[in-house]
């Protein structure tokens, strides 16, 4: 038996219907604290929908999504609006098609992510308007936090550029940095390697392992790059047509015949990468 | 609509009897026909290029003026047959107003396609101011009135000695509107033009790649919208007999309200929304102070948008994350 | 290839194009310009003015041809000019800002300044202030508000009614009017702020109309279309600007001869101070979490929600703060005029203010000043052409938008730099 706090996220019987279409049916899985849990599956399997339910952008039709913090505090995510999931339960996500504040600078993106803490420090703008030291100090701390992530992501040189003008790979990293600045307990990454080249993907996997080690973070990952998934995840959940067809450690999933058959008929390289498990 | 539009002003009893109900139903349907016709122009343009064509109300006003001038010209030429006069004026008003609709799009909107979202809106507001003042300067600021042309009133007995009066003009207006809307729906559903239009609405770039002439399709949308507004303008000239350069503003806002109410982008929605606004306007003064009629319309709009943001017939939007 | 094309201008195509434009112009002119309805005792008669149609067609032909020729020969330099305009370095804009402020402060003391000019500048400054206030809502938070004038009206009526019924002075009413407008902003904003951009625009427009209709019809309180007259004029620390008053007068206190000009100058400085307060506030709040959240929301609402921001609170704060500045401007308007009626708060005012913000280049404080001078100032100076004034105004709106769709000055400065250079640290652009 593991102690209760080891389970970070418990998803029970999650079902999501849009009109007559069932995008997810009766999905249950758990994510352990400190793990990298990957959700994989062919296109249209309902992976992003799971994320949208978890982060409150969709209201699940049926199901229970329970998140437990280290201190034992529990959150029922299906009952919370999206912004409260990020603010109180500290579940922060990135998006499949990057959503940056394109017209603002890279640094501003990272400072905005610390909005909640900074707003409190600015005394809901009053202390800020009066330019009180308490706010100035908080802002300096926010910038230092941002600088840490800029350095880590190799974005320091572009700090004052418009986020929208960055190259694609940089934008992906900036989005992760921004999510980290919001102080997540659970970081949900929606296809972070999409559109990256081989070298960038390698860097990404190193980075994710590194973040987890240093910040004691748990990561939920949607990814099509099987090599990346097999390399870094501790636990893999395989979705097909909205249902879980297999879950377990990467080695088990890789050998599961149901998984292989689900992937046949989808792009070949994915199926091949899946069986080989490496590039 | 001009403030002169309501048949009863204040002195009706604040209770509903069957004859008042039917009478206001008829009046409301007539009013709804105007709003529906104007709303179609808004909804089509919004559907195809996603902008509020702020000058559309003024296009309707221009339609009313062209129609009024047309009637006066015909009477000086000596055309005495009323149906013939109406037919000629209808064609003339639609043609000239369509020219205005086309020109507005060509001058003020087309160069701004792909600019920041607010640019075309400001340019549209500017265009609306230009059209209003142009007509004011060209035709004078005073209200213009026309003697009734279409006579004929039918009194229908609804029992218990109560009567409902329906004018020939009201019948013409409703029949004409229904016919136009039916024809128009057919055009959008079943002709190559309608297909091009719907394709452009879905994805202008893709439509262009597949050989749809997007510019021409958008122009035609404006032309159709303007000619429908011209019909409404002509009917207003006949029905109210009083127009001025300012009638387009309020009519425009209300028709846009109708379009949103029905679900913007939806053609049947625009008609339904127009009808709803017409009925609300005609029934409001039965119970409440006429002066606050516009408040009722906008209040309803706010309520609908809060509880059903897609309007009555709009497609529900699933937020793409 | 392109150079060779430029050497042989396609005159034939231009001529054909211009002729086509002339034909369209003639078609447009025939029904409305060529025939004028004349009211007679016996009903309407017609006055044919067909030469006007020819003039219109000729003017359009010549204009179109000249434009194409100019576009052909001047295109490169013309384009360079428009592109280089916003690329002014950051510091020069700050300098321009301070020079403008200094000029505004000193202006009434210049030899050429006379009462009329100061009066017109006061009017322009009202619109500058309204523009800066609306910019918080539209430029920063990206919320399209077409009913901003409603809050202006609420401020004006709040002051007029409070001073009339409770005898409160301008200086007490000013913050109350701001607060009142902000409350209305919250009351309106709360239900509708979930709406998408264009829906919000139309709902705010409807709200503006509702306020106007209520002002027009609520006789008992607002005195309907006749408006409120004899509104208390402002005092300087209790010094009245009248010839004779119950309390001390400005002229009497300083021992100078009474002159009605004093009040004009006082009002000018008052609105200047209010406007500067607005812009300083806007500059400062932009650099605070609240302001950054507004801009982030404008950029991507979904991303904001994923970072824990409550979009309703963020929008509501922008809406309420923007409204409160309109309320302040409204009570200034009431005290300046001494008379208000619903007529002053029609949709055209909202449109003008929005046009100032958009033409100024959304977010640029100096751009808004430029746009206010262009849109409010110029038509004021051409009042002699009263009939054509609004025509020119509308035309200018269209033309400026066509010329610069992104606004006159549209560069955005980051609110925070990673390693700010000492020279520009803490500097604000007025």
- For residues C51 and C147, state if they share a domain: no
- For residues A130 and A170, state if they share a domain: yes
Tell me the shortest Cα–Cα distance from B287 to chain C, in angstroms: 17
Specify whether the CB–CB gap between B76 and B297 falls below 8 A. no
- For residues A156 and A127, state if they share a domain: yes
Q: What share of chain C is helix, strand, coil (3-state, %, to 5)?
A: 75, 5, 20
Please list the alpha-helical segments (H only) found in A124-256.
126-129, 133-153, 168-181, 198-215, 226-232, 250-255
Spatial CB neighbours of A237, under 8 Å, sequence gap ≥ 6: A29, A37, A38, A39, A40, A244, A247
Give the domain range for residue C30.
8-75
Interface test with A, best of C295, C418, C425 (most A CBs within 10 A): C418
Q: What is C365-389 written as a DSSP string?
A: HHHHHHHHIIIIIHHHHTGGGHHHH
Interface test with C, best of B58, B121, B293 (most C CBs within 10 A): B121
Tell me the shortest Cα–Cα distance from B180 to chain A, in angstroms: 34
Report pLDDT digits (tens) over C348-374: 899 889 889 988 887 788 889 988 988
Strands of the A91-93 sheet, one edge to the other: A91-93, A186-190, A218-222, A36-40, A235-240, A243-248
Specify whether the CB–CB gap between C318 and C143 falls below 8 A. yes
Q: Would residue B10 count as lying in a domain?
A: no
Q: Would residue C37 count as lying in a domain?
A: yes
- C305 CB neighbours in chain A (<8 A) are 56-57, 82-83, 86
C359 vs C370: CA distance, rounded Å:
9
Report pLDDT digits (tens) over C191-202: 777 777 777 887
Cα A22 to Cα A40, A246, A247, B36: the distances in Å are 18, 19, 21, 38
Q: Would residue B317 count as lying in a domain?
A: no
Q: Would residue C397 count as lying in a domain?
A: yes
Tell me the shortest Cα–Cα distance from A190 to chain C, in angstroms: 13
Residue A180's pLDDT is 92
Report pLDDT digits (tens) over B32-61: 998 999 999 999 898 888 888 989 999 999
- B67 CB neighbours in chain C (<8 A) are none
Q: Where are the beta strands (DSSP E) in C279-383?
A: none
Interface test with C, best of B63, B108, B302 (most C CBs within 10 A): B302
Pairing of strands A235-240, B163-167: unpaired
Q: Would residue A95 count as lying in a domain?
A: no
Of C198, C199, C388, the CB nearest to B137: C388
Domain count, chain C: 2
Find how far residue A92's CA is from the centre of its chain: 6
**Assigned token pair, A214:** 């240093």
Element containing residue A10 per DSSP (H, E): strand A7-18
Q: Would residue A49 count as lying in a domain?
A: yes
Q: Would residue B291 count as lying in a domain?
A: yes
Segment 165-184 of chain A within 8 Å of chain C by CB = 178-179, 182
- For residues A63 and A190, state if they share a domain: yes
**Closest-CA residue of chain B to A57:** B321
Q: Are C300 and A100 in contact (CB < 8 Å)?
A: yes
- C412 CB neighbours in chain A (<8 A) are 103
Q: Are B321 and A18 in contact (CB < 8 Å)?
A: no
DSSP code of C408?
S
C338 vs C263: CA distance, rounded Å:
12
Q: Would residue B315 count as lying in a domain?
A: no
Out of B100-109, B189-198, B301-310, C364-373, least confident range: B301-310
Specify whether the CB–CB gap between A36 and A221 falls below 8 A. yes
Report pLDDT digits (tens) over A73-106: 899 998 899 999 999 999 999 998 899 998 899 9
Residue B11's pLDDT is 46
Q: Would residue C97 count as lying in a domain?
A: no
B248 vs B233: CA distance, rounded Å:
9
Element containing residue A159 per DSSP (H, E): none
pLDDT(B191) > 90? no
- For residues C52 and C194, state if they share a domain: no
For the segment A132-145, the average pLDDT, to the nearest whole number, is 86
Q: Are A139 and C412 in contact (CB < 8 Å)?
A: no
- For residues C235 and C325, state if they share a domain: yes
Q: Are B112 and C206 in contact (CB < 8 Å)?
A: no
Q: What is C308-366 written as a DSSP string?
A: T--HHHHHHHHHHHHHHHHHHHHHHHHHHHS-B-GGGGSHHHHHHHHHHHHHHTTT-HH
- For residues A68 and A38, state if they share a domain: yes
Domain count, chain B: 1
Segment 14-33 of chain B within 8 Å of chain C by CB = none
Q: Are C397 and B66 in contact (CB < 8 Å)?
A: no
Find how far residue A131's CA is from the centre of its chain: 35
pLDDT(B10) > 80? no
Tell me the shortest Cα–Cα distance from C412 to chain B, in angstroms: 15
Q: Would residue B312 count as lying in a domain?
A: no
The CATH number covering residue B219 comes to 1.10.3470
Expressed in angstroms, the distance from the first to the final Cα of chain B is: 42
Interface test with C, best of B123, B141, B260, B265 (most C CBs within 10 A): B123
Out of C69-73, C152-156, C389-393, least confident range: C69-73
C265 vs C248: CA distance, rounded Å:
18
Residue A271's pLDDT is 57
C405 touches chain B (CB under 8 A): yes
Specify whether the CB–CB gap between C141 and C294 falls below 8 A. yes
pLDDT(A46) > 90? no
Q: Are A95 and B321 in contact (CB < 8 Å)?
A: yes
Spatial CB neighbours of C416, under 8 Å, sequence gap ≥ 6: A105, A107, A108, A111, A139, A143, C287
- A93 CB neighbours in chain C (<8 A) are 306
Q: Are C281 and A115 in contact (CB < 8 Å)?
A: no
Report pLDDT digits (tens) over A202-232: 999 999 999 888 888 899 999 888 888 888 9
For the segment C72-96, the average pLDDT, to the nearest whole number, is 58
- For residues C52 and C116, state if they share a domain: no
Tell me the shortest Cα–Cα distance from C291 to chain A, in angstroms: 9
For the segment C17-37, the average pLDDT, to the nearest whole number, is 89
- For residues A64 and A192, state if they share a domain: yes
pLDDT band at C429 (very low <50, low <70, confident <90, very high): very low
Expressed in angstroms, the distance from the first to the final Cα of chain A is: 37
Residue B50's pLDDT is 83
Segment 111-170 of chain C within 8 Å of chain B by CB = 138, 144
Handedness of CA C335, C338, C341, C345 (dihedral sign): negative
Angle at C92 between CA C87 and CA C93, to 5 degrees: 75
Residue A242's pLDDT is 86
pLDDT(C430) > 50? no
Out of A264-268, B19-23, B74-78, B247-251, least confident range: A264-268
Domain count, chain A: 2
Q: What is B179-215 written as a DSSP string?
A: HHHHHHHHHHHHSHHHHHHHHHHH-HHHHHHTT--HH
- For residues C53 and C117, state if they share a domain: no
- For residues C44 and C132, state if they share a domain: no
Report pLDDT digits (tens) over C123-171: 999 999 999 999 999 989 888 888 999 999 999 999 999 988 888 888 8
Of C27, C205, C217, the CB nearest to B253: C205
- For residues A1 and A55, state if they share a domain: yes
For the segment C95-113, the average pLDDT, to the nearest whole number, is 82
Q: How many CA atoms lie within 13 A of C88 on its CB side?
A: 17
**Assigned token pair, C300:** 């991507």
Find how far residue B321's CA is from the centre of its chain: 36
**Closest-CA residue of chain B to A58:** B319
pLDDT band at C7 (very low <50, low <70, confident <90, very high): low
Q: Would residue A136 count as lying in a domain?
A: yes
Instruction: Specify which residues A188 forms β-bridges with.
Output: A93, A220
Q: Would residue C416 count as lying in a domain?
A: no
pLDDT band at C294 (very low <50, low <70, confident <90, very high): very high
pLDDT(B182) > 60? yes
3-state secondary structure C137-181: HHHHCCCCCCCHHHHHHHHHHHHHHHHHHHCCCHHHHHHHHHHHH
- For residues C43 and C177, state if they share a domain: no
What are phi and psi for residue A194, nearest 5 degrees? -60, 130
**Assigned token pair, A103:** 């017209």
Identify which of C408, C409, C397 has the alpha carbon closest to the alpha carbon of residue C355: C397
Give the domain range for residue B189.
18-307
- B108 CB neighbours in chain C (<8 A) are 398, 401-402
Give the domain range for residue A151.
101-183
Segment 96-115 of chain B within 8 Å of chain C by CB = 96, 99-100, 102-103, 107-108, 111-112, 115
For the segment C175-179, the average pLDDT, to the nearest whole number, is 94
- A48 CB neighbours in chain B (<8 A) are 321
Which of C54, C75, C96 corresponds to the end of one domain? C75
Specify whether the CB–CB gap between C413 and C429 falls below 8 A. yes
Token pair 């705010």: residue: C204
DSSP code of B314?
P
C45 vs C39: CA distance, rounded Å:
6
Q: What is the complex's ipTM, to 2 decimals?
A: 0.88
Residue A269's pLDDT is 56
- For residues C158 and C43, state if they share a domain: no
Q: Would residue B69 count as lying in a domain?
A: yes
C299 touches chain A (CB under 8 A): yes
- For residues A167 and A148, state if they share a domain: yes
Spatial CB neighbours of C228, under 8 Å, sequence gap ≥ 6: C157, C160, C161, C164, C222, C334, C339, C340, C341
The CATH number covering residue A211 comes to 3.40.50.300
Which of C75, C97, C127 corresponds to the end of one domain? C75
Q: Are C289 and A84 in contact (CB < 8 Å)?
A: no
Q: Would residue C41 count as lying in a domain?
A: yes
Which of A183, A198, A231 corresponds to the end of one domain? A183
Residue B141's pLDDT is 83
Which of A138, A167, A183 corresponds to the end of one domain? A183
- For residues A76 and A115, state if they share a domain: no
Tell me the shortest Cα–Cα distance from A168 to chain C, in angstroms: 17
pLDDT(B102) > 90? yes
Q: Are A18 and B318 in contact (CB < 8 Å)?
A: yes
Tell me the shortest Cα–Cα distance from C136 to chain A, in angstroms: 15
Q: Are A57 and B321 in contact (CB < 8 Å)?
A: yes
Specify whether the CB–CB gap between A14 and A24 falls below 8 A. yes
pLDDT band at C83 (very low <50, low <70, confident <90, very high): very low
Residue A3's pLDDT is 52
Tell me the shortest Cα–Cα distance from A104 to chain B, in angstroms: 16
Specify whether the CB–CB gap between C213 and B297 falls below 8 A. no
- For residues A143 and A223, state if they share a domain: no
For the segment A257-273, the average pLDDT, to the nearest whole number, is 67
Which of A149, A183, A217 corresponds to the end of one domain? A183
B261 vs C11: CA distance, rounded Å:
50
Report pLDDT digits (tens) over A35-45: 999 999 888 88
Pairing of strands A91-93, B153-157: unpaired
- For residues A175 and A189, state if they share a domain: no
Out of A243-252, B242-251, C39-48, least confident range: C39-48
Query: How many residues does this entry show for chain C?
Result: 430
pLDDT band at B197 (very low <50, low <70, confident <90, very high): confident
Q: Would residue B8 count as lying in a domain?
A: no
Segment 68-107 of chain A within 8 Å of chain C by CB = 82-84, 86-88, 92-93, 95, 99-105, 107
- For residues C294 and C367, state if they share a domain: yes
C124 vs C329: CA distance, rounded Å:
12
Segment 188-207 of chain C within 8 Å of chain B by CB = 191-192, 194-199, 201-203, 205-207
A115 touches chain C (CB under 8 A): yes
- For residues A118 and A202, state if they share a domain: no
Specify whether the CB–CB gap between A128 and C288 falls below 8 A. yes
**pTM of structure:** 0.83
Q: Are C202 and B52 in contact (CB < 8 Å)?
A: yes
The CATH number covering residue C292 comes to 1.10.3470
Could you give the percent of chain B with pLDDT greater than 90?
Answer: 36
Spatial CB neighbours of B203, under 8 Å, sequence gap ≥ 6: none
Residue C332's pLDDT is 94
Residue C129's pLDDT is 95
Q: Would residue B222 count as lying in a domain?
A: yes
Q: Are B69 and C397 in contact (CB < 8 Å)?
A: no
Interface test with A, best of C90, C289, C294, C361 (most A CBs within 10 A): C289
pLDDT band at B272 (very low <50, low <70, confident <90, very high): very high
C20 vs C12: CA distance, rounded Å:
12
Angle at C126 between CA C121 and CA C127, to 5 degrees: 100
pLDDT(B229) > 90? yes
Query: How many residues does this entry show for chain A?
Result: 279
A113 vs A101: CA distance, rounded Å:
11
Element containing residue A263 per DSSP (H, E): helix A257-263
For residue C388, how many other CB atoms are within 10 A of its CB? 15
Spatial CB neighbours of B100, under 8 Å, sequence gap ≥ 6: B59, B62, B131, B226, C28
Segment 30-69 of chain B within 8 Å of chain C by CB = 46, 50, 52, 62, 65-66, 68-69
pLDDT(C86) > 50? no
B11 touches chain A (CB under 8 A): no
C166 vs B129: CA distance, rounded Å:
40
Identify which of C266, C274, C260 has the alpha carbon closest to the alpha carbon of residue C330: C274
Q: Are A105 and C414 in contact (CB < 8 Å)?
A: yes
Cα C186 to Cα B159, C296, C324, C348: the distances in Å are 52, 21, 10, 23
Specify whether the CB–CB gap between C227 and C341 falls below 8 A. yes
For the segment C213-239, the average pLDDT, to the nearest whole number, is 85
C297 vs C302: CA distance, rounded Å:
8
- For residues A172 and A191, state if they share a domain: no
């Amino acid at each position: 038996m593991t102690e209760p706090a080891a389970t970070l996220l418990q998803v029970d019987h999650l079902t999501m219907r849009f009109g007559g279409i069932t995008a997810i049916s009766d999905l249950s899985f758990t994510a352990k604290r400190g793990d990298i849990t990957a959700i994989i599956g062919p296109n249209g399997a309902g992976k992003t929908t799971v994320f949208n339910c978890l982060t409150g952008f969709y209201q699940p039709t049926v199901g229970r999504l329970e998140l437990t913090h280290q201190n034992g505090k529990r959150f029922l995510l299906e009952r919370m609006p999206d912004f409260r999931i990020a603010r109180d339960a500290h579940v922060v996500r990135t998006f499949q098609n990057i959503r940056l504040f394109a017209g603002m600078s890279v640094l501003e993106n990272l400072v905005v992510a610390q909005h909640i803490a900074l707003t409190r420090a600015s005394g809901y703008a009053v202390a800020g308007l009066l330019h009180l030291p308490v706010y100035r100090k908080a802002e300096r701390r926010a910038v230092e936090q941002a600088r840490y992530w800029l350095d880590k992501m190799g974005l320091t040189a572009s700090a004052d550029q418009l986020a929208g003008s960055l190259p694609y790979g940089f934008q992906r990293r900036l989005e992760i940095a921004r999510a980290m600045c919001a102080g997540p307990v659970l970081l949900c990454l929606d296809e972070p390697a999409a559109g990256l080249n081989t070298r960038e993907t390698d860097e990404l996997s190193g980075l994710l392992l590194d973040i987890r080690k240093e910040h004691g973070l748990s990561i939920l990952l949607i990814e099509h790059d099987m090599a990346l998934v097999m390399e870094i995840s501790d636990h893999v959940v395989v979705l097909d047509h909205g249902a879980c067809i297999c879950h377990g450690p990467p080695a088990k999933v890789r050998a599961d015949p149901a998984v292989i058959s689900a992937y046949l008929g989808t792009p070949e390289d994915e199926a091949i990468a899946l069986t080989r498990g490496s590039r | 609509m001009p403030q002169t539009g309501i048949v009863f002003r204040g002195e009706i009893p604040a209770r509903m009897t069957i004859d008042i109900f039917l009478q206001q139903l008829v009046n409301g349907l007539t009013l709804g026909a105007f709003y529906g016709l104007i709303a179609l122009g808004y909804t089509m343009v919004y559907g195809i290029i996603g902008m509020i064509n702020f000058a559309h109300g003024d296009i309707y006003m221009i339609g009313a003026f062209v129609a009024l001038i047309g009637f006066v010209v015909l009477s000086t030429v000596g055309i005495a047959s009323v149906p013939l006069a109406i037919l000629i004026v209808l064609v003339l008003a639609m043609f000239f107003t369509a020219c205005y609709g086309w020109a507005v799009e060509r001058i003020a909107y087309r160069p701004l396609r792909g600019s920041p979202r607010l640019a075309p809106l400001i340019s549209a507001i500017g265009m609306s101011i230009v059209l209003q003042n142009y007509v004011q300067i060209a035709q004078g600021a005073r209200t213009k009135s026309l003697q009734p042309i279409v006579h004929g009133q039918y009194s229908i007995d609804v029992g218990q000695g109560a009567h409902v009066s329906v004018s020939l003009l009201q019948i013409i207006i409703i029949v004409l509107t229904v016919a136009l809307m039916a024809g128009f729906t057919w055009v959008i559903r079943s002709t190559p033009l309608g297909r091009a239009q719907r394709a452009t609405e879905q994805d202008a770039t893709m439509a262009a790649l597949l050989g749809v002439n997007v510019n021409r399709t958008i122009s035609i949308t404006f032309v159709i919208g303007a000619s429908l507004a011209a019909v409404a303008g002509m009917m207003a000239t006949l029905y109210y007999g009083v127009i001025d350069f300012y009638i387009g503003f309020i009519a425009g806002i209300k028709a846009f309200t109708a379009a949103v109410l029905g679900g913007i982008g939806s053609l049947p929605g625009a008609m339904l929304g127009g009808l709803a606004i017409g009925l609300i306007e005609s029934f409001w003064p039965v119970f409440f102070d006429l002066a606050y009629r516009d408040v009722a319309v906008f209040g309803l709009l706010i309520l609908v948008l809060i509880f059903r943001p897609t309007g009555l017939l709009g497609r529900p939007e699933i937020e793409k994350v | 290839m392109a150079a060779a094309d430029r050497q042989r201008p396609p005159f034939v195509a231009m001529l054909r194009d211009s002729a086509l434009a002339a034909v369209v112009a003639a078609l447009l002119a025939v029904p409305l310009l060529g025939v004028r309805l004349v009211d007679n005792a016996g009903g309407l008669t017609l006055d044919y003015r067909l030469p006007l149609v020819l003039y219109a067609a000729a003017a359009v032909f010549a204009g179109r041809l000249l434009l194409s020729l100019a576009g052909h020969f001047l295109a490169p330099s013309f384009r360079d000019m428009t592109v280089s305009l916003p690329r002014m370095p950051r510091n020069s804009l700050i300098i321009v800002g301070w020079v403008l402020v200094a000029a505004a402060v000193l202006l009434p003391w210049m030899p050429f300044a006379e009462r009329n000019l100061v009066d017109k500048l006061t009017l322009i400054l009202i619109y500058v202030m309204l523009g800066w206030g609306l910019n918080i809502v539209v430029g920063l938070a990206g919320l399209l508000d077409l009913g901003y004038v409603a809050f202006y009206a609420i401020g004006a009526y709040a002051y007029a009614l409070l001073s009339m019924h409770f005898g409160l002075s301008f200086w007490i009413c000013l913050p109350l009017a701001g607060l009142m407008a902000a409350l209305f902003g919250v009351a309106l904003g709360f239900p509708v702020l979930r709406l998408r951009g264009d829906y919000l625009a139309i709902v705010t427009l409807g709200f503006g109309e509702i306020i106007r209709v209520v002002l027009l019809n609520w006789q008992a309180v607002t005195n309907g279309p006749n408006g409120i007259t004899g509104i208390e004029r402002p005092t300087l620390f209790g010094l009245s600007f009248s010839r004779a008053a119950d309390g001390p007068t400005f002229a009497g206190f300083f021992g100078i001869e009474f002159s009605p000009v004093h009040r004009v100058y006082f009002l000018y400085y008052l609105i200047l101070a209010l406007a500067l307060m607005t812009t300083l506030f806007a500059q400062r709040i932009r650099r605070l979490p609240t302001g950054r959240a507004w801009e982030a929301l404008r950029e991507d609402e979904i991303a904001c929600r994923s970072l824990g921001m409550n979009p309703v609170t963020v929008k509501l704060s922008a809406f309420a703060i923007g409204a409160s500045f309109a309320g302040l401007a409204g009570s200034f308007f009431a005290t300046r005029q001494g008379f208000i009626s619903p007529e002053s708060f029609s949709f055209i005012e909202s449109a003008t203010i929005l046009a100032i913000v958009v033409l100024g280049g959304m977010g640029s404080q100096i751009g808004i000043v430029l746009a206010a001078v262009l849109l409010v100032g110029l038509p004021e100076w051409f009042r002699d052409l009263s009939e054509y004034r609004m025509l020119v105004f509308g035309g200018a709106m269209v033309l400026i938008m066509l010329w610069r769709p992104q606004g006159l000055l549209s560069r955005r400065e980051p609110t925070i730099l990673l390693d700010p250079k000492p020279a520009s640290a803490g500097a604000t652009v007025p």
